Amino acid sequence: MTCHGSPDARRPRRRALPLTLACLLVAAAIAAGATSAGGATRVRARACSAPTYPGTGYFTSLRVDGVSCATGRRLVLAYYRCRSRSGPAGRCTRRVLGFRCREKRNSIPTEIDARVTCRRAGRTVVHTYQQDV
């Protein structure tokens, strides 16, 4: 029988040490896998500078979540090209660079003010624009 103050009571059991190390290694592997999410780190949501508007109007804002600002700018311009295929007040009804986009407009006969939200697998790009018709 050992007492609480004896040296044997303070020493960890030899069998518990390998089990503890194995648990620590598994926990570290899980933590590393959770942060790498497919090998790429996730870009945080942020506001970006909008590209120059190709027509008569301008982009008023650009916000990205899960993608870079460069990808957001590329998507905004690709969406503009898709939308303007059917005229100055046209709409884009297909996927753009793999993103599904929805547009909400406030229009008057001479101007379009719109907010476009594009999503793809947890990634989001939101931009607003004003265009003269």
Instruction: Give pLDDT tens digits for 4-46.
Output: 555 555 555 555 555 555 555 555 544 444 444 444 566 789 9
- Strand residue runs (E) in 7-120: 46-48, 57-65, 100-108, 111-120
Mean pLDDT of 100-124: 97
d(CA 92, CA 82): 5
Cα–chain-centroid distance for residue 40?
Answer: 12
Burial of 64 (0-12, 13-18, 19+ CB in 10 A): buried
Q: What is the pLDDT of residue 39?
A: 47
Res 85 pLDDT > 90: yes
**Listed range (35-49, 63-77, 104-118) with the worst mean pLDDT:** 35-49
Q: What is the pLDDT of residue 83?
A: 96
Res 92 pLDDT > 90: yes
d(CA 78, CA 116): 12
pTM, entire model: 0.69
Q: What is the pLDDT of residue 43?
A: 75
Cα–chain-centroid distance for residue 111?
Answer: 31
**Listed range (31-35, 50-54, 101-105) with the worst mean pLDDT:** 31-35
Q: Please provide the average confidence, as pLDDT, over all residues in the chain.
A: 83
User: What one-character DSSP code corresponds to residue 43?
Assistant: P
